[in-house]
Chains A and B, each alone.
Chain A
Amino acid sequence: MATVLDNTEFKPPTTYRSWRSSPYLYVISHVLKYWWLFIPAMFLQIFFAVLQSSIPRIIGQIAGGLVDETLTYSDLGTLSLSVLVLGVGGGLVLLVKNWMIEFVAQRIERNTRDELYSSILGKSLTFHDQQTIGDLMSRAAADVRQLNFMINPGFQLVFQALVGIIVPFIFIYFIDPQLLLVPVIFLISFAIALRRYNNNLTPVAWQQRMAVSRINSRLNETISGMSLVRGNTQEEYEREIFYKNIDEFKKVAIRQGVLQGKYYPLLLLGVATLFSFVHAVFLVNSRVITFDDLITYLLLIQLLRFPTFINIFAITVLTMGVASAERITHLINWNTEIDANTGGYASEIRGDIEFVNVTFGYREGVPVLKNLNFRVKPGQVVALVGMTGSGKSTITKLLARLYDPQQGEIRLDGHPLSEWSLESLRSQMALVEQDIFLFSRSIVDNIRLSRPDATMEEVIEAAKLAQIHDFIMTLPDGYDTEIGERGVQVSGGQRQRIAIARAVLKNPRILILDDASSAIDSKTEDEIQRAISEVLKGRNSFLITHRIAQIRKADLIILLDKGEIIGMGSHDHLVKNVEKYSRIFSTLKEVSS
């Protein structure tokens, strides 16, 4: 079973040769990577069970010696000493084994998270658009952790239970095969009861998880939208939802309590202990076994206590782990179309951009752009104009090959975008987006994101150009000031200017400004604009803006309506020929007069 080679926009340093066709195989393939630890650990587990099961035999001898008064002082010393050695040795074996398994479990958490995360990072935006961040987070954090728990304690305990039952059985067999009668009946009924218990418990455990996430997600919204709740006097309604959610949780939690209370294997073990005792007493009476055999036998039966008890939760952890593995492989196996195309065409962009019959929708069958045709010459400034939802930002996203069109082709300098090396393509474009996103790191890191190798001088130069340098210098740590949740809060206009600096630092061949300066006052914006056009002379830029002055200055204005081009050309041309365009200006005139 070989690894499937998926499209990826990002090649991580480590690739895992994991099997992803089923959740079981997935976990196994990750475990096998550490077989040299895992398999010896299983042998240590067996060894531990053997050591542990040997102790009852010795104690039986002491008890027997006590009964028939043959026990000597030196015998007692030797026997006690061997119990000590076996017990302490067993503990040490257990310790080493636990550590080995724990190491494997932690490694698996690390590796699967790494694999999942780099796989997510490599997927196109078509994938990301369909995910909620909360869900990705819970898979990359909680589900991956669940795999860890699945190995330890999950598998570890189930295996320990299995060995912990089988090995004492073997010891019992060697006392007298007849003695196995009750234990075997117990084992069968135990298996049946355990199966039923888990079949009942697993769905409840899931329901409980669901109930918690339901409470959390609505609560999160209610608190974020508190002003809305109150403004519409919907307290009663929200209360009802919340009460309903917590009530559901309560019911599930109680059901879980009831199920765990009714863990029949414990009762079965009690009854089995009793009947094996009775059976053994009969055998002693009929002199089939000796008195010390009886004690040995009873102590061996006692050893079954732990395996019986531990499965109250161990198997659930195992099944939850399988479900988590399924959720993880589901994401990893989700193939997207765009590949880094490392061997693709790479060259400096001249800026001859051509959209040929391009149709695209974020979801199949719901086109956002319909049969688009236009051509941009090198060095042109293009303004994209149209109503909200008309597809302006989408055009720029296609250009950066964040998505592939469903029909048609986009050509850059004569080569279809799909032929370009993604690295070469994207590294020559810069984008300042509508909702500016800054990472919670230092300002310099945020600006440098576009070019990690830029020198400090270059960063400062870009910041000056974006009119943000002076502001940065007023901050306590200057460029090293952390921004975001744990650092300094920056205003909308400041965010936009940092994003502009980031874009400029990249020195792009194509610059995309998607409503990039809405929160900057017009005086500053003018200055920034002038500086940008100076620096990026001869390069292409795409503007989406509500500043009419900028639209007017563009070389090419593309007017969109519901994903179709309804007008294209210079300002003068459009004012004369396209009614929808001229209307913006007439309303503006009305207002001004």
Chain B
Amino acid sequence: MGFILHGLDKDSYDRQYSDRELFVRIIGYFRPYAKYMLLVGFFVVIQSVFNGIVPYIFSVVINQLEVAFESGEDLTTTSFFYAATALLLGSYIVAFVSNAVAMYFGAISVQSSVEDLRKDVFNSLLERDMAFFGEVPTGRLVSRVTNDTQSFGQTVGLSTNLIGQVLNFFVIVGFLYAASVRLTVLLLLFAPIIVLVALSFRRIARGVALESNRVLARVNALIQETMSGIYIAKSFRAEQTVYDEFDEMNGLSYSVNLRRGLVFNSIFPILNILTAVATTVIIFIGPLDVISDSLDQIPLINLLPGSEITAGQLFLFLNGLNFFFFPLVQIASFWSQFQQGLAGAERVFSIMDAENKVVQTDQKTIEDMKGEIEFKDITFGYKEDLPIFEHFNLKIDAGEKIAIVGHTGAGKSTLSKLIGRYYEFQDGELLIDGVNIRELDLHFLRNRLAIISQEVFLWNASIKENILYGSGFSTVSATNAQGFQMNSELKEYSEESIEKMTGILRKIKALDWIDNLEGGYDMIVGERGNRLSQGQRQLIQFARILMQDPAVLIMDEATASVDPFTEMQIQEATDLLMSGRTSIVIAHRLSTVRNVDRIIVLKEGKIIEEGSHKELLDQGGHYRELYDTYFRHQSLEYIERITSTD
């Protein structure tokens, strides 16, 4: 199976399951639909039998006709003929209906179990550690939830199909055997050839198909990248460079796909040729047995009972060829396709079984949470042998505003990730209002905590929906869920929520520019909010958090890059945000850092200085150094000095 995995990236959480484990689990998903599956099996059997009977009845009638033709009787008036006709008509109808019913129940059971699997994997995603999402690219997870579950479903579809094919094959061979053992054995000699051709074709095809998928992925990536950077390509007149790269990739895609296409398009002609050879064998050997006894001279063949084959039986054999060849091809290719489905199931189960490192031991909630945070003897490293914090202690009072400053890598953001339970610390205790963070209900904790980072995430929905997301007002929308993402219908919110929102927007002075937008707060913000400027995105995020009204606020380099005017405005909004709750500001703008109650200076995971801005500046230590590098240029004294010396 090595060639299947070749080129498919493995992820850290991927695991290996034995085929047995996989089977058991897959069957588990079909257990609720066992009734349907049994019906599918039943109707597939019926269909195969009746499909197989048809050529047989034909051959019998033709035989009778042959006799009647020679004796000059009129077959059409015999009850035999009527019975045969009725039987044929019945067979056709029964086979058709059985097939339709089997497909119906097959679709129901396969799609239902795929749906169940998707639910399970989605729910497990909702439970995974936050750190998990930082490590695995989103696209990869999406494809596991949609594509891999689909190929899981196909596996089952294939299996029921296979049952039908195998059955079909045996029914046909049975009838053929009854007609002529000798001819049947000769025909069966083709089986290994066909299987061999199908398998080797499969192998070549798999190689080129994989290559072709990879090229398609690269073409996709290239288009995505160049379209994201079109603004740059245009302003630098780099269209030619971009085009050349595209052209090369498009050419590569063409040649790979052509190769793949040529291989795929060869299978039917080759089967056609094989069929022709088999047909020739039948029409030569069959009648030969009748008109001469030369076959009885050949050793081995003479051991097989030969018989006087009739025209009807000849017809049966020729007809049987189709029913004989195609099932064989499908049977031959079944196993590798089946493996593919198993691999899909394996990837899905891997997500479901990935172990969370962050484990809550209880589901406590804190009534009227104040927001006191205490790090007690905390030891943590992203990798256990590389600790970032060792026996770290810090107490933040309820309602206190602190700033954490330090060079990159000092561990500033790590602190916020520990409070947000993104990662599990290795030793020590982290207390929120005196309660061990491990005993808290995670939903509760996250609801009372807001972390603002530089990268603002907005839904591709209206400004209103973004602000009101999760504020408990979207009860109407929940039933309208689908409209949310397609932007086809706007959700209705209560008067109260809109009022509250506009109140907040007025407070943070965002109402003004929002009113200026096309559609006001019903404007759709685009993917990740790309139709708004960074400052605007930030303000919308602020409004959302004000609606949420958390007890603890962490701003992680949140407003590093906004213009002075927006900054002024954001500053007011920030003040509003920070008032009345515990606020932790990480390496923020000078103005914010200065206004906090306490500044914590971190270096390599240790608190080395602590105090107010003025105290620390006067100390002339590490803070002073940081100040000179990061903040000084924002101070007025500096500006005055630099412009006067120019």
Note all chain A residues with C-beta closer than 8 A to B420. Answer: 227
Let me know if B470 and A67 touch, CB within 8 A: no
Once bound together, how far apart are the Cα atoms of A180 and B408, in whole Å? 85
Which of the residues A137, A226, A580 comes within 8 Å of B130, measured between beta carbons?
A226
Let me know if A437 and B223 touch, CB within 8 A: no
Chain B interface: which of A185-193, A264-272, A474-482?
A264-272
Question: Smallest distance from the beta carbon of A292 to chain B beta carbons, Å?
Answer: 9
Let me know if A267 and B81 touch, CB within 8 A: no
Chain B interface: which of A163-171, A238-246, A408-416, A462-470?
A238-246
Let me know if A518 and B560 touch, CB within 8 A: yes
Chain B, residue nearest A585 (CB) = B636
Note all chain B residues with C-beta closer than 8 A to A258. Answer: 100, 103-104, 107
Which of the residues A55, A237, A291 comes within 8 Å of B481, measured between beta carbons?
A237
Note all chain A residues with C-beta closer than 8 A to B534. Answer: 388, 434-435
Let me know if A241 and B568 touch, CB within 8 A: no
Q: Mark B441-459, 1 if CB is under 8 A from A, else 0.
A: 0110011011100000101
Chain A, residue nearest B308 (CB) = A66
Chain B interface: which of A31-39, A248-256, A372-380?
A248-256
Q: Mark A61-79, 1 if CB is under 8 A from B, else 0.
A: 0111111100111001101
Once bound together, how far apart are the Cα atoms of A427 and B451, in whole Å? 43
Let me know if A220 and B318 touch, CB within 8 A: no
Let me know if B65 and A294 touch, CB within 8 A: yes
Note all chain A residues with C-beta closer than 8 A to B459. Answer: 221, 225
Count residues of chain B with CB under 8 A from any CB of chain A. Answer: 176
Let me know if B146 and A219 touch, CB within 8 A: yes
Once bound together, how far apart are the Cα atoms of A437 and B138, in whole Å? 20
Note all chain B residues with C-beta closer than 8 A to A131. Answer: 227
Once bound together, how far apart are the Cα atoms of A491 and B633, in whole Å? 21
Decide yes or no whether A352 CB sits under 8 A from chain B: no
Which of the residues A91, A98, A239, A546 comes within 8 Å of B276, measured between beta carbons?
A91
Q: Mark B78-102, 1 if CB is under 8 A from A, else 0.
A: 0001000100110011011001111
Question: Smallest distance from the beta carbon of A180 to chain B beta carbons, Å?
Answer: 20
Q: Mark A532-571, 1 if CB is under 8 A from B, else 0.
A: 0000000000001111110111000000001000000001
Note all chain A residues with C-beta closer than 8 A to B395. Answer: none
Decide yes or no whether A339 CB sits under 8 A from chain B: no
Chain A, residue nearest B460 (CB) = A221
Decide yes or no whether B174 CB sits under 8 A from chain A: no
Decide yes or no whether A113 CB sits under 8 A from chain B: yes
Let me know if B122 and A63 touch, CB within 8 A: no
Once bound together, how far apart are the Cα atoms of A169 and B65, in whole Å? 24
Chain A, residue nearest B294 (CB) = A73
Let me know if B130 and A232 touch, CB within 8 A: no
Question: Smallest distance from the beta carbon of B96 to chain A beta carbons, Å?
Answer: 4
Note all chain A residues with C-beta closer than 8 A to B443. Answer: 230, 233, 235
Let me know if B146 and A591 touch, CB within 8 A: no
Let me know if A552 and B643 touch, CB within 8 A: yes
Which of the residues B141, B447, B460, B628 comes within 8 Å of A223, measured between beta carbons?
B141
Let me know if B287 and A76 touch, CB within 8 A: yes
Decide yes or no whether B186 CB sits under 8 A from chain A: no
Let me know if B279 and A234 touch, CB within 8 A: no
Q: Evaluate whether A94 and B272 lie within 8 angstroms (CB atoms) in the complex, with A121-B242, A136-B227, A450-B238 already known.
A: yes
Chain A, residue nearest B631 (CB) = A522
Let me know if B565 and A71 touch, CB within 8 A: no
Note all chain A residues with C-beta closer than 8 A to B261. Answer: 102, 105-106, 152
- Which residues between 252 and 274 of chain B lie within 8 Å of chain A, taking CB atoms? 253-254, 257-258, 261-262, 265-266, 268-270, 272-273
Once bound together, how far apart are the Cα atoms of A47 and B469, in whole Å? 65
Let me know if A109 and B257 touch, CB within 8 A: yes
Once bound together, how far apart are the Cα atoms of A128 and B229, in whole Å? 11
Let me know if A450 and B236 touch, CB within 8 A: yes
Once bound together, how far apart are the Cα atoms of A29 and B526, in whole Å? 36
Q: Evaluate whether A546 and B637 lie within 8 angstroms (CB atoms) in the complex, with A71-B291, A250-B114, A591-B591 already known.
A: no
Note all chain A residues with C-beta closer than 8 A to B629. Answer: 521-523
Which of the residues A107, A366, A584 comes within 8 Å of B518, measured between beta carbons?
A366
Decide yes or no whether B225 CB sits under 8 A from chain A: yes
Once bound together, how far apart are the Cα atoms of A118 and B239, in whole Å? 9
Let me know if A592 and B636 touch, CB within 8 A: yes
Which of the residues A229, A234, A250, A584 comes within 8 Å of B568, measured between beta carbons?
A584
Chain A, residue nearest B216 (CB) = A141
Question: Smallest distance from the beta carbon of A570 to chain B beta carbons, Å?
Answer: 11
Which of the residues B141, B272, B319 comes within 8 Å of A302, measured between beta carbons?
B319
Which of the residues A110, A235, A545 comes within 8 Å of B251, measured between beta carbons?
A110
Most buried by B among A221, A229, A390: A221
Once bound together, how far apart are the Cα atoms of A248 and B115, in whole Å? 10
Decide yes or no whether B241 CB sits under 8 A from chain A: yes
Chain A, residue nearest B145 (CB) = A219
Let me know if A67 and B66 touch, CB within 8 A: yes
Q: Evaluate whether A295 and B315 lie within 8 angstroms (CB atoms) in the complex, with A240-B481, A261-B101, A274-B88 already known.
A: yes
Q: Mark A352-388, 1 if CB is under 8 A from B, else 0.
A: 0000000000010110000000000000000001111
- Which residues between 288 and 321 of chain A lie within 8 Å of chain B, taking CB atoms? 291, 294-295, 298-299, 302, 305
Q: How large is the interface on A (under 10, 10 to 19, 20 to 34, 35 or more residues)?
A: 35 or more
Let me know if A83 and B279 touch, CB within 8 A: yes
Question: Smallest distance from the beta carbon of A562 to chain B beta carbons, Å?
Answer: 6
Once bound together, how far apart are the Cα atoms of A281 and B319, in whole Å? 18
Let me know if B634 and A84 touch, CB within 8 A: no
Which of the residues B283, B485, B566, B568 comes within 8 Å of A587, measured between beta carbons?
B568
Which of the residues A94, A103, A140, A571 comes within 8 Å of B223, measured between beta carbons?
A140
Q: Evaluate whether A291 and B66 lie within 8 angstroms (CB atoms) in the complex, with A302-B319, A452-B241 already known.
A: yes
Chain B interface: which of A18-26, A195-203, A210-218, A343-351?
A210-218
Note all chain B residues with C-beta closer than 8 A to A27. Answer: none
Which of the residues B146, B236, B241, B266 comes within 8 Å of A426, measured between beta carbons?
B236
Note all chain A residues with C-beta closer than 8 A to B201. Answer: none
Which of the residues B230, B283, B595 comes within 8 Å of A80, measured between beta carbons?
B283
Question: Smallest distance from the beta carbon of B501 to chain A beta carbons, Å?
Answer: 15
Chain A, residue nearest B420 (CB) = A227
Once bound together, how far apart are the Cα atoms of A278 and B57, in whole Å? 13
Let me know if A400 and B565 touch, CB within 8 A: no
Q: Mark B619-637, 1 if CB is under 8 A from A, else 0.
A: 0000000001111111111
Question: Smallest distance from the beta carbon of A423 to chain B beta carbons, Å?
Answer: 6
Q: Evaluate whether A257 and B104 lie within 8 angstroms (CB atoms) in the complex, with A67-B70, A423-B237 already known.
A: yes
Decide yes or no whether A15 CB sits under 8 A from chain B: no
Once bound together, how far apart are the Cα atoms of A521 and B478, in whole Å? 45
Note all chain B residues with C-beta closer than 8 A to A266. Answer: 96, 99
Let me know if B482 and A244 touch, CB within 8 A: yes
Q: Evaluate whether A92 and B269 lie within 8 angstroms (CB atoms) in the complex, with A55-B279, A228-B469, A250-B111 already known.
A: yes
Once bound together, how far apart are the Cα atoms of A99 and B569, in whole Å? 66
Q: Evaluate whether A117 and B250 lie within 8 angstroms (CB atoms) in the complex, with A140-B223, A526-B633 already known.
A: yes
- Which residues between 494 and 538 of chain A lie within 8 Å of chain B, taking CB atoms? 502, 506, 515, 518-519, 521-523, 525-526
Decide yes or no whether A456 CB sits under 8 A from chain B: no
Once bound together, how far apart are the Cα atoms of A249 and B145, in whole Å? 13
Decide yes or no whether A461 CB sits under 8 A from chain B: no
Let me know if B107 and A99 touch, CB within 8 A: no
Q: Evaluate whether A256 and B107 lie within 8 angstroms (CB atoms) in the complex, with A389-B516, A551-B564 already known.
A: yes
Note all chain B residues with C-beta closer than 8 A to A455. Answer: none
- Which residues between 93 and 142 of chain B lie within 8 Å of chain A, taking CB atoms? 93, 95-96, 99-104, 106-108, 111-112, 114-115, 118-119, 122-123, 125-126, 130, 133, 137-139, 141-142
Additional A-B contacts beyond A229-B470, A523-B628 (10; CB < 8 A)? A90-B272, A114-B247, A117-B246, A137-B224, A214-B482, A216-B142, A217-B460, A242-B118, A253-B107, A294-B65
In the complex, 20 of the A-B residue pairs with CB atoms within 8 angstroms, ordered by the A residue number, are: A65-B287, A87-B272, A88-B277, A91-B270, A102-B262, A109-B253, A121-B226, A128-B227, A137-B227, A219-B142, A232-B471, A244-B482, A249-B115, A260-B103, A385-B565, A388-B569, A452-B241, A515-B561, A521-B630, A583-B568
- The 9 A-B residue pairs whose C-beta atoms are closest, nearest first, are A87-B276, A232-B470, A257-B107, A388-B535, A518-B561, A522-B633, A261-B103, A270-B92, A91-B273
